[in-house]
Structure 1
Amino acid sequence: MEHLFLSCPWTSSIWSHPLVRNSISFRGVHRIEKWLLDLLDNKEGLLVLETTASILWQIWKARNNSVFRQQRSNSEQVVQVALANVQSDRRYNGKKQNQSSQISAETQRWQPPEKGVIKINIDASYLSAITGASVACVCRNSSGFLIDGFTRTVNASSALQAEVLAFSLTLQFLLQQGKAKDRLVLESDCAVLVEALLHPDLTPWESRALFHDCASLLLRFPNLQIQFCRREANSVADRAAKAHGASLLSSDWLSSPPSFLLDLMYSDMMWNGSSIFR
């Protein structure tokens, strides 16, 4: 373990990087768990551990990509991605702390859009870089009825990348359906995705190219509103993505939704006082 993450020549070049070595030292480490505990005793404590955890995660991902995808990463890339993720997380959490921590029961449930508006919920179910991910897009009207959507399998190297692909594919799907000018509300329970879309300066480094593609697509949607929702309010898209990954959705699921999706949609409709009958 210590050789894998700390002492081999490649990982040593990461920990000795000028942007890292001034705050994190691994010299004399015999057990990685003791090293992590010692980092907590550092005067900066959790801040150092946060950076360390990000670097360890990027090392693990890089090694997996090398073994299973034959994709090589240099130490500079690993360091830059890890530090960019830490910076992005800190900025997001800082903004989050300035917001009210009290969330009403209503905001935790799916809310219907205004009449004439289509609400789109998206989600991704990520398993691993080897097996990929499943994404889902669920479109409902102001009465809560399912009117369109899709599920798909995508290649993704991280959960965030899967969420970004779900968003990008949804915009492409809406363009194909001729809905670019329609009044649309798009919700995701991925806070990092929503923050990066609304505030491009928060874009995570490792997904910058994908976010750039999304920004180009967004220019074609003048009436699209993007917002974050709680996981409870995104249950239909979440269940659809997971069901697709488990091969539990038939090809006609849009016209004949399975009972596990119908139950969730009926629950949302009854919560909002909508009739479940057309």
Structure 2
Amino acid sequence: MRAPGVWNREMVEFIFCPSTATQILALPIPLHGGEDVLFWPGSVDGFYTAKLGYDFVSSMTAANTAGSSSSTPPLGNSLWKKLWSRYGLPRCKEFSWRICRSFVPVRSALARRGMAVDLICPLCGIEEETIKHLWLCCPASRSVFFAIPLALRLERFVSLPDFLHQFLAVASADAIAEWQTAAYVLWEARNKLVFEGRPFSCDAVVRRTLQLVQRPSSAQVSRQPGIVLETVWRRPEEGMIKVNVDASFKSATDSGSGLIARDSEGQVLAAAASYPVVASSPVLAEAWALRWAIILALELGFRRVCFETDCLLLFQRWQKPPDGVSYLMSILRECLSFRRFFDVMTLSFVRRSGNSVADLLARRASTYAGLVWVEEVPSEALPFVSADYLAFMPVQV
């Protein structure tokens, strides 16, 4: 290590192959040292349970027995939950589940069951129609997924499982709903071509996808009982400083952090961006961002601070004693150890819409790497700062 909490990147990359070096560099290093311990990586707190062991063995068994190019390994629990997001139409969500489980009667699947069918894809007429081909490799489907607002570049992915795991890990609920709808409409258009002779049109598929995509209105969401929605930035109490922090996770070696600090009048005190953030998962990137924000707040002389994040899992773990042995618990314990340097230090949760400035700085961190602004923000963040200020400005009567 060159400095406390930082790997010697050059040495690690010189000694190990790229894939191993990436995994090593993604390991968090405590600033104050500590003993190495063994923990179960499949849980947030690091503790092993019989259920987690069963899930691990089941996933390994399914991966080893996957024989065809169209079959996909099961997704983790968190990714399955995102797949069944409430934002999509039920038939689109159910159909995306069938794609993930290889339960769609594409021509290769029908042939394996003894049916005499033409194996060539009816959309492109070039390759065998498999689930991987139809939703990843077919030129017609690639045109559709690139033409929808998501603008997916499917040629970047080598397999359907690779796409599903990467996409579901980082996509928002409405983005997943858009992909599910496009996948469903694509199959619908394919069937109309095969059984009714209707010509396939990329523009028609895109138009129907946009018609079917459902996004909940604010009125629909606010009627849900038992849910407290913080959808806008709120000023801290008088004498407190609110530091909004966020992380943008792209890969283990390509993530960034952003923060903005404001007082009870809504005035900007500081803003900053950090890049790269090396973390093995989105929640670890969020934890690293929080630790970075706490240290920077101390350096700026802030002593009464309310930190705010849009990572619900991080906030939930913060509220419980961090008695686990995982990487996340280690970072949280280190964050809590800084409390003695503050007069007041709290962490609250806000939805992404109330964390827009920090989110922007995190997504643009590679451009602003290492920059700190005092009493100002970069020009592209000014509209978001103004929107936050106006959203909670007292009404003049």
Q: TM-score, normalised by structure 1?
A: 0.60
> Residues 143 and 156 (structure 1 numbering): CA distance in 2 closer, same or farther, change over 3 Å?
same
Residue 142 (structure 2) pairs with residue 20 (structure 1): no
SS of match in other structure, 2:346: strand
Residue 268 (structure 2) pairs with residue 146 (structure 1): yes
Residue 346 (structure 2) pairs with residue 193 (structure 1): no
Between the aligned partners of 2:345 and 2:361, the Cα distance in structure 1 is: 23
SS of match in other structure, 2:243: strand
SS of match in other structure, 1:270: helix
Q: Give a deviation string over 1:132-158, Cα, whole Å, max 9, x none.
A: x21112100112111123211122222
SS of match in other structure, 1:30: coil
Task: Report deviation, 1:203.
Answer: 5.8
Which of 388, 394, 397 aligns to 1:268? It is: 388
Between the aligned partners of 1:198 and 1:229, the Cα distance in structure 2 is: 15
> Residues 202 and 238 (structure 1 numbering): CA distance in 2 closer, same or farther, change over 3 Å?
farther
Task: Report deviation, 1:165.
Answer: 1.1
8 Å contact 2:245–2:257 — kept in the other structure?
Answer: yes
Task: Report deviation, 1:179.
Answer: 2.4
Between the aligned partners of 1:188 and 1:220, the Cα distance in structure 2 is: 21
Residue 206 (structure 2) pairs with residue 169 (structure 1): no
Between the aligned partners of 2:364 and 2:356, the Cα distance in structure 1 is: 12
Counterpart of 1:76?
none
Counterpart of 1:211?
332
Counterpart of 1:121?
244
Q: Give a deviation string over 1:36-83, Cα, whole Å, max 9, x none.
A: 5xx8xxxxxxxx9639979xxxxxxxxxxxxxxxxxxxxxxxxxxxxx
- The runs of 5 or more residues in structure 2 that have no matched partner are 1-41, 43-49, 82-223
Between the aligned partners of 2:78 and 2:234, the Cα distance in structure 1 is: 38
Between the aligned partners of 1:260 and 1:251, the Cα distance in structure 2 is: 15
Between the aligned partners of 2:369 and 2:292, the Cα distance in structure 1 is: 19
Between the aligned partners of 1:196 and 1:142, the Cα distance in structure 2 is: 27
Task: Give the superposed CA RMSD.
Answer: 3.6
Larger radius of gyration: 2
Task: Report deviation, 1:270.
Answer: 1.3
> Residues 204 and 189 (structure 1 numbering): CA distance in 2 closer, same or farther, change over 3 Å?
farther
> Residues 249 and 206 (structure 1 numbering): CA distance in 2 closer, same or farther, change over 3 Å?
closer
8 Å contact 1:135–1:151 — kept in the other structure?
Answer: yes
**Structure richer in helix, relative to its length:** 1
8 Å contact 2:240–2:264 — kept in the other structure?
Answer: yes
SS of match in other structure, 2:274: strand
Counterpart of 2:15?
none
Task: Report deviation, 1:20.
Answer: 2.9
What code does the residue aligned with 2:259 have? C
What code does the residue aligned with 1:169 have? W
SS of match in other structure, 2:307: strand
Q: Give a deviation string over 1:9-49, Cα, whole Å, max 9, x none.
A: xxxxx9xxx8338972437542376575xx8xxxxxxxx96
What code does the residue aligned with 2:358 have? A
8 Å contact 1:196–1:202 — kept in the other structure?
Answer: no
What code does the residue aligned with 1:30 have? G
Task: Report deviation, 1:163.
Answer: 0.9
- The runs of 5 or more residues in structure 1 that have no matched partner are 1-13, 40-47, 55-98
Q: Give a deviation string over 1:200-220, Cα, whole Å, max 9, x none.
A: 358683423222212222343
Counterpart of 1:257?
377
Counterpart of 1:79?
none
Q: Give a deviation string over 1:184-231, Cα, whole Å, max 9, x none.
A: 211100011111111135868342322221222234334122111010
> Residues 32 and 224 (structure 1 numbering): CA distance in 2 closer, same or farther, change over 3 Å?
farther
Counterpart of 1:134?
256
Counterpart of 1:50?
77
Between the aligned partners of 1:214 and 1:121, the Cα distance in structure 2 is: 15
Aligned residues: 199
1:73-112 paired onto structure 2 within 5 Å: 100-104=225-229, 107-112=230-235
Residue 221 (structure 2) pairs with residue 221 (structure 1): no
What code does the residue aligned with 2:290 have? F
